[in-house]
Amino acid sequence: MKFQGRDIITYPDLKKFPEGQISTFWMDLVANGIGQNILIPVMVAKGTGDGPVLGLTAVVHGNELNGLSVIQKVFRDVDATKLKGTLVGIPVLNVPSNLNHERRFTDGEDLNRIFPGKENGNESQVYAHRIVDRIVSQFDYLIDLHTASFGRINSYYIRVNMDDPISARMAKLHNADIILDAKGEGGTLRNAARQLGIYAITVEVGDPNKFQKGMIRSGLDGIDNVMIDLGMIEGNIDEDKSEGTVYCQDSYWLYANRGGILEVKPEVTQLIKKGELIATVKNIFGELLYEYTAPEDGIVIGKHVHPINQTGGRILHLGLR
């Protein structure tokens, strides 16, 4: 069976794809409420020599678009006849939410909080389970591409378990602004992959609902560095910017204790000191209601940019060095 001239495959076996070429197909995952198949786009570049399986995933959240473009460009540039191993790209993992211009899955769940899912679970759990079971489980390495959520912006940063030297190496090769040592995060695709023995990192490439050329270029360069390091492609690793990376041992979000018109002062990647003014809240008449100061020294990983902010809304994501 085909769709748009491409094969529909329910259980892809990466070992059976032809060597020296790029194959593109649709993976049949689930059906919607009127029985239509929900198809996931997959790209496979099968090399001509032995090597690892590197998986690239994007749009786990439906509004996170930069990773989509990163994967497209990686496959535009790769030469399968010179590739060692296998490169797999899933440019849109959460197809229903992407089409609906929404972050969460169709049942309201955050897909990146329920991996590896359940074989006989609810809508989102089954969807997550089949992604892991049918294709992610075949990876040796995973780079999962994300962005900030609605109303927020992010630095170019990596989430990784720094206790794992191989995953830590993958993170460092991205020359990111910030590397955050994030060990737990149950329910994420990264953590589900780790439980299967797959070396995995999460790459945050900027802001939602847009394509950002600089962020896309940075993500592409990082993946190229990883592929060179794994021996999949030839080239020289670019580590010129690695000295500028800030390493954080922990992080947390600051939340507003009163609603109003929010203005967050520092920019992403900015170092801030304890007691420094970081945000103000005004009422609808423009009168100052409250000022927020930094509770401790840190770096701004991301921040809220939508001015209308209810009590309990986010202010900024503070990284601790």
pLDDT on residue 186: 84
205-221: b (≥16 Cβ within 10 Å) or e: bbbbeeebeebbebbbb
User: Residues near 138 by Cβ (< 8 Å), separated by ≥ 6?
Assistant: 14, 53, 55, 88
pLDDT on residue 117: 96
pLDDT on residue 150: 87
Q: How far apart are the first and last CA of the chain?
A: 53
Q: How many helices and strands in the chain, by DSSP H and E?
A: 6, 20
Alpha carbon 311 to chain centroid distance?
28
Facing residues of 158 across strands?
A: 179, 203
pLDDT on residue 242: 65
- Single out the residue of 43, 45, 17 nearest to residue 232, CA to CA: 45
Q: DSSP string covering 97-146, please?
A: HHHTT-SS-TTS--GGGSTT--TTS-HHHHHHHHHHHHTGGG-SEEEEEE
Amino acid at the residue 4: Q
- Determine the Cα–Cα distance for residues 30 and 28; give it in Å rounded to an integer: 6
pLDDT on residue 240: 63
pLDDT on residue 82: 96
Alpha carbon 144 to chain centroid distance?
4
Residue ranges of domains in the chain: 2-244, 249-320
Let me know: does 153 contact 102? Beta carbons within 8 Å. no
Q: At how many degrees (to 10) do helices 165-172 and 213-229 cross?
A: 140
Backbone angles phi, psi at 183, to 5 degrees: -90, -35
Domain 249-320: state its class.
mainly beta
pLDDT along the chain (321 residues), means of 10: 92 96 96 93 97 98 93 97 98 95 92 95 96 98 94 94 96 95 88 96 92 92 96 87 86 94 96 97 95 97 94 96 92
pLDDT on residue 218: 93
Q: 3-state class of 256 per DSSP? A: coil
Domain 2-244: state its class.
alpha beta
- Determine the Cα–Cα distance for residues 229 and 17; give it in Å rounded to an integer: 24
Can you tell me which residue has the tokens 């998986």?
Answer: 55
pLDDT on residue 241: 65
